[in-house]
Chains A and B, each alone.
Chain A
Amino acid sequence: MKLSKEQVKHIALLSRLSLSEDEVEMFQEQLSDILNFVEKLNELDTEGIDPKFQIIPPENVLREDIPGVSFPYEKTFLNAPETDGKHFIVPKVVKK
């Protein structure tokens, strides 16, 4: 199996990654190789086998809903690329 260039571009968009034409070509080869590599799993019959999403059976972790101190603004926005100290500032998303 080999991914087409269009498929690579589509995956990149879903992944929110912009790629140059050279990169599309490189990843086309590499991603196809990896997908062919994992094809090996199809040798196994897994009919009737339950998937193991978690090894330790998950359990609900419950606690009383007690108000506490929230994470402070200074720390929350410490690493924001753009902030006014109370909000994360993002490019405009609503068109006029």
Chain B
Amino acid sequence: MELINKSLKELSSLIAKKEIKPSEITEELLSRIEKTESKLNAYITVEKEKSIEAAKLKDKELEKLSETEIPDLFGIPLSIKDNILVEGQKMTCASKMLKDFIAPYDATVIKKLREKGAIFIGKNNLDEFAMGSSTETSFFGVTKNPWNLERVPGGSSGGSAAAVAARSAIASLGSDTGGSIRQPCSLCGVVGMKPTYGRVSRYGLTAFASSLDQIGPITKNIEDNAFLLNIISGLDSKDATSAKLPVPNYLEALDNEIKGLKAGLPKEYFIEGIDPEVKEKVMEAVKTLERLGVEIEEISLPHTSYAVETYYIIAPAEASSNLGRFDGVRYTYRAKEYTDLIDMYCKTRAEGFGNEVKRRIMIGTYTLSAGYYDAYYLKAQKVRTLIYQDFQNAFKKVDFIVTPVSPTTAFKIGEKTDDPIKMYLSDIFTIAVNLAGLPGLSMSCGFDNKNLPVGVQLIGKAFDEETLYSVGYKLEKELNINNMPQV
């Protein structure tokens, strides 16, 4: 089998046994990227020369290392969503505003991966500033779904998910504010984890909605995902919201017993409007869990139908504040012609941002402005409490929750671009998890009759990624889905 079809974990063991050289993986992956990119557009930047150079250095270093000294990701090329800083590489956030921006330092997650020997082969496409559910708002053009090139890969981490699915990435990191890891993973048939808020440092991730954003791994399988989360998790003095809690070994958790665990099926997630084929596949996964000894119980999360509305007040409000920094002074882009300072700000931002970003900045500015704060922002934060309490109550009865990831499989490019609200509703099943700060795992559970992947979401208690991985691992084995998209 070709190296690019192997999992991250397999490649790591092959390197550890010195059976392959880092440059072999990097070269094979680069030629795969060259083949697939004309069709997919999953990358904004590919660091061809730099990564070949880095891999050759690793080849030499490897000769000198004894087997026990070889770090876990030694010489393994990873791709990264282009809103995370990798020192010396461009970081565009898929925006004209940052098309020439060079990262001046490494994000904490990148520093951790680098310490384990990883090579950073390129930056994946996304919706502009991670605002979107289809990767269509990217300044660099839409990414295509590798299962069907006329369809979207989901978003906002669409480039990462598409690349991992198409084997033009070994594994990637994404970010998830309202479903941006889980929904594209569902639509592309790969595995994505949105960790508990605070599990992973956000330092070096371009802030979108700071109380919701979280970085997580996008991988070919559950084991790789646990492997990467082990490395990137933990307290960071540079992110005051990172949690002061020990990080368990997620790889060990894969073998935890799941017999006797209780899973909740929230009735509000199996509503009218959900694609019947999605429902059917998710219910098959539920049956499989039952066969594996998991007890299934119907539960209620009564405020579910308010989550999208709550999110579309809180996320734009935080975004309007976070994106204030793009003022034409510090971050590369400045309008050419202007009359005074205010005009320079207004023109720079009008030229640099796309329409979805402008919409969210304006909504956020409005809902935070004098006289409207209580009616919108404060109200939404109160509803957030209700949504959080729904989950707290549910977790008194069950160990984890099972839902679909997305109400539909991958939709057609252009199908929802004219109607922002229609687009917003594609995150209906993922958003509440961010509002409540919980971990959510998205994995494939089959295909619809158009051969498009369907995803199932496992939602856990805060800081209980272990249960999600152990359940996901067994479910993955049992479902045994090995189809790969032909690109």
Contacts and interface: CB of A to CB of B under 8 A. Distances in A.
Interface of A: 8, 11-19, 26-27, 30-31, 33-35, 37-38, 40-42, 44, 46, 49-56, 58-59, 61, 63, 71, 75-76, 78-82, 88, 90-93
Nearest to B198: A56
14 contacts: A15-B358, A16-B349, A17-B353, A26-B355, A30-B420, A31-B362, A33-B420, A34-B312, A49-B386, A52-B384, A53-B211, A54-B211, A79-B102, A90-B341
Contacts, number: 153
Nearest to B303: A44
Give the most central of B306, B312, B350: most A CB within 10 Å: B350
Contact of B241 (A11, A30, A54, A82): A54
Given A15-B361, A38-B376, 14 more contacts: A27-B359, A33-B420, A34-B421, A35-B366, A37-B421, A41-B309, A41-B313, A49-B382, A51-B381, A61-B240, A80-B332, A81-B329, A90-B341, A93-B341
A75 to B, nearest CB: 4
B contacts with A: majority SS: helix
Nearest to A19: B350
B306 A41 contact: yes
Contacts of A75: 104-105
Contact of A17 (B244, B309, B313, B346): B346
A39 B184 CA distance: 28
Contacts of A18: 343, 346-347, 349-350
A35 to B, nearest CB: 7
Contacts of B462: 55-56
A33 B324 CA distance: 24
Nearest to B360: A34
B1 interface: no
A91 B330 contact: no
B384 A11 contact: no
A37 B309 contact: yes
A35 B375 CA distance: 11
A34 B329 CA distance: 31
A64 to B, nearest CB: 12
Interface of B: 100-102, 104-105, 197-198, 211, 237, 240-241, 243-244, 303, 306, 309-310, 312-313, 320, 324, 327-334, 338, 340-347, 349-350, 353, 355, 358-359, 361-363, 365-366, 369, 376, 378-386, 388, 420-421, 424, 436-437, 462
A26 to B, nearest CB: 8
B237 A61 contact: yes
Contacts of A14: 365, 369
B102 A38 contact: no
A93 to B, nearest CB: 5
A contacts with B: majority SS: loop
Contacts of B309: 37-38, 40-41
Given A53-B211, A91-B341, A16 B327 contact: yes
A50 B424 CA distance: 26
B380 A81 contact: no
B104 A79 contact: yes
A5 B386 CA distance: 35
A93 B437 CA distance: 43
A16 B334 contact: no
Contacts of B100: 79
Nearest to B240: A61
Contact of B382 (A11, A46, A63): A46
A71 B244 CA distance: 26
A35 B237 contact: no
Given A49-B385, A88-B330, A12 B362 contact: yes
A56 B197 contact: yes
B378 A51 contact: yes
Contacts of B244: 59
A63 B237 CA distance: 9
A12 B436 CA distance: 31
Give the most central of A11, A18, A35, A93: most B CB within 10 Å: A18
A30 B346 CA distance: 20
